[in-house]
Amino acid sequence: MFATATEVLKMPRKTIKRFLPDHQKIKENRVINMFGSLLHDANLWHLNRRSARGAFAIGMFNAFVPVPFQMYLSAFAAIVFKVNLPLSVALVWISNPITMPPLFYGCYKVGEWILGPSGHEFAFEASWDWLVQSIATIGPTFLFGCFITGLFCSVVSYFGIDYLWRYSVRKAWKKRQELRKQKT
In the prediction, which pLDDT does 1 show?
41
Range of the domain at 40: 5-183
In the prediction, which pLDDT does 92 show?
93
In the prediction, which pLDDT does 182 show?
86
Task: From 47, 58, 48, select the one nearest 81 (Cα to Cα).
Answer: 58
In the prediction, which pLDDT does 2 show?
43
Q: Coil, helix or strand for 102?
A: helix
Residues lower than pLDDT 50 in the chain: 1-9
Counting the structural domains of the chain, the total is: 1
Cα three-residue angle 6-10-11, rounded to 5 degrees: 125
In the prediction, which pLDDT does 31 show?
60
In the prediction, which pLDDT does 9 show?
44
